[in-house]
Amino acid sequence: MNAFMIALQFLTRFPVRLKQYPEEEVAGSLYWYGLVGALLGAFLYCASLFLNWVAPGLSLAVMAALLVFAWVFITGALHLDGLADSADAWLGGNDKEKVLAIMKDPRCGPAGVVSIACVLLLKFACLQTLLEHHALYLIVVPALARSAMPLLFLTTTYVRQHGLGSPFQGNVSPGKTLWQLGAILFLGFLITGPVLVLVITLAAITLIYLRASMRTKIGGVTGDTAGAAIEILEAVLLLGLVAWG
């Protein structure tokens, strides 16, 4: 339970405040990322129902904009920060040390701003369609994107010596990784049906490309690139559900 609460505290702004916890429980929290993502998706779905109830005259565009705001707020823009840092580093760094140094810089450059704008714009556009036809799909998107993180850390070297993801290095179980991924895929299939096969194929291709890019550029994964992967996967999953759902 502590591992789940650690994941909830790290990935969301829900009122969870754990002050001390051992490193092995931090490592175990990785397997709960998918479930926390499902809770985030359920929060967004309930928010859409609430908006329909209190303001039935709202246009889909306004509702989509409010949900994007809620999405950013409830996650604390954690993964957007990783996306911006990674975009700046990918554009401005010519070698591993330079790329890693740029990702540590708290300032946000043009590439970071543009990457955030593009991802949020795509989410906003896709949400308008989902809200009209398949609002329940909102539960699936954050869950699937986060459930891919154990697989990423299992198969990719963590390149920082002391970072937020360092407890995961060498401590990721293949069995637990497949179990949690299978559970989230089953939930996704129950909600979306056979269309999930096409959507997951698109997401898998995206993750393979992102992992290859990380290995080429910096030799592995960091917390920032993992956050960037979550944001990109969410956008790709939304796009796939809109295109084929």
pLDDT 10s digits, 157-197: 999 877 777 788 888 999 999 999 999 999 999 999 999 99
Note whether 24 and 1 are within 8 A (CB).
no
Sign of CA dihedral 240, 11, 117, 157: negative
Q: Tokens in use for 188?
A: 């996704």
Please give the tally of structural domains in the chain: 1
| Pairwise CA distance, residues 178 & 219, whole Å | 24
Q: Is 201 left (phi over 0), alpha (psi -120 to 50) or beta?
A: alpha
In a domain, 12, yes or no: no
In a domain, 237, yes or no: yes
Residue 171's φ and ψ, nearest 5 degrees, are -115, 15
Bridge partners (DSSP) of residue 47 are none
Q: What is the pLDDT of residue 234?
A: 98
Q: Is 18 left (phi over 0), alpha (psi -120 to 50) or beta?
A: beta
Q: What is the pLDDT of residue 171?
A: 84
Note whether 87 and 103 are within 8 A (CB).
no
Q: What is the pLDDT of residue 24?
A: 78
In a domain, 221, yes or no: yes
In a domain, 219, yes or no: yes
In a domain, 30, yes or no: no
Q: Tokens in use for 176?
A: 């637990």
Q: What is the pLDDT of residue 113?
A: 96
Please list the rounded mean pLDDT of every run of 10 residues in the chain (245 residues): 89 82 83 97 97 94 98 96 96 89 91 97 97 95 98 94 79 94 97 97 98 96 96 98 93
| Domain, as residue range, for 160 | 36-244
pTM of the model: 0.96
Q: What is the pLDDT of residue 161?
A: 79
Note whether 67 and 44 are within 8 A (CB).
yes
Q: Is 76 left (phi over 0), alpha (psi -120 to 50) or beta?
A: left
pLDDT 10s digits, 100-119: 999 998 889 999 999 999 99
- Maximal CA-CA distance, the chain: 53
In a domain, 193, yes or no: yes
Nearest Cα to Cα of residue 162 among 223, 212, 101: 223
Q: What is the pLDDT of residue 63?
A: 97
Could you write out the DSSP letters of every residue in 95-111?
A: SHHHHHHHHH--S--HH
Q: What is the pLDDT of residue 160?
A: 86
In a domain, 51, yes or no: yes
In a domain, 5, yes or no: no
